[in-house]
Amino acid sequence: MSYCKEPQSGLWLEYDDSAVSVVTAEDVSRVQAYALFYERKGQMAIKDREEWSLIASEPSIHEPKVWIPRVWFNNWLTMSNPGPIDNKSWLCPHGSLPPEKHVDPLHLVQSIPLSVYEHFINKYGLVPGRSVVETCNVCLICKEEQVLLDHRRKREESDIQSLDTSSLPEGEFWYLINAEWLFEWGQFKSGLGPPPGPISNDKLIQSDDRPRPNLVRGIFHTVLINCSILTINRHSL
């Protein structure tokens, strides 16, 4: 059930599935609402005249344009104080657009005249980092790094598949490896995460450097210990 005020007549209407009926404002005020929707009356309600004139005016063809996060611009359209502009939220460490975000960049960024940008900075501030972003191009450095990582993923997966085995020759043995690290490597192999750091088996080893008791293949269900058996024999490492 929902209630809505009809703008032309000013009447409050009650919507109950397909049934619609007229109710009084007093009836609506007694309802315990869990979601409220308001309509703003006029654009000047939360934006001063100077800002709107800057946005609405036609900038000179010689005036440069810059890029800002679209989420910030949308917040500015709907909020009285959108906070400082954060250009780092959509840029890579090299100051350009990451390759994975370049599929449809217009969903991420908004182009505005430089004079408007400077006005926004003076009024709302800027998160420390990249200030003016004049282009919205994919980062060639990140793109090259992504290609190298893709090659590394395929190479490591191929290497592991060639070494993995369910049996060992006589005189060889298994190595234990932390399941948390193995999961991170699996995420990296699938393209869902960065390369894992160095292997640490501290959670699997006792103070005397012997494996902890009751370790099982797969995930060991305790808060402190997760373990797995990596099926690579000692001569393969």
What CATH number does domain 46-124 carry, 3.40.50.720, 2.170.120.12, 1.10.3720.10, 3.30.2230.10? Answer: 3.30.2230.10
pLDDT of residue 37: 77
pLDDT, one tens digit per residue, over 103-127 is 666 678 888 888 889 989 999 999 9
pLDDT of residue 236: 38
pLDDT, one tens digit per residue, over 12-34 is 999 988 889 999 988 888 888 87
- Contact, 65 vs 135, CB < 8 A? no
Q: Round to whole Å and give the CA distance between 127 and 84.
A: 6
Q: Is the pLDDT of residue 175 over 70?
A: yes
pLDDT of residue 211: 79
Q: How many CB atoms lie within 10 A of CB 144?
A: 11
Q: What is the DSSP letter of 99?
A: G
SS3 at position 119 = helix
Cα distances (Å, whole numbers) of residue 229 to 66, 204, 207, 226: 53, 11, 20, 11
pLDDT of residue 125: 92
Q: How many CB atoms lie within 10 A of CB 228?
A: 20
- Residue 87's contacts (CB-CB under 8 Å, 6 or more residues apart) are 67, 68, 69, 126, 127, 129, 130, 131, 133
Tokens 């929707």, located at residue = 37
Strand partners, 57: none
Q: Which has more confidence, 62 or 75?
A: 75
Q: Which has more confidence, 43 or 73?
A: 73
**Mean pLDDT calculated for residue range 67-73:** 89
Tokens 């972003």, located at residue = 133
For residue 186, give the amino acid letter: G
pLDDT, one tens digit per residue, over 124-134 is 999 987 778 88
pLDDT of residue 41: 61
Q: Round to whole Å and give the CA distance between 114 and 4.
A: 42
The distance in angstroms from the start CA to the end CA of the chain is: 66
Domain boundaries, the chain: 1-39, 46-124, 165-236
pLDDT, one tens digit per residue, over 151-164 is 999 998 888 888 77
Q: Round to whole Å and give the CA distance between 93 and 130.
A: 10
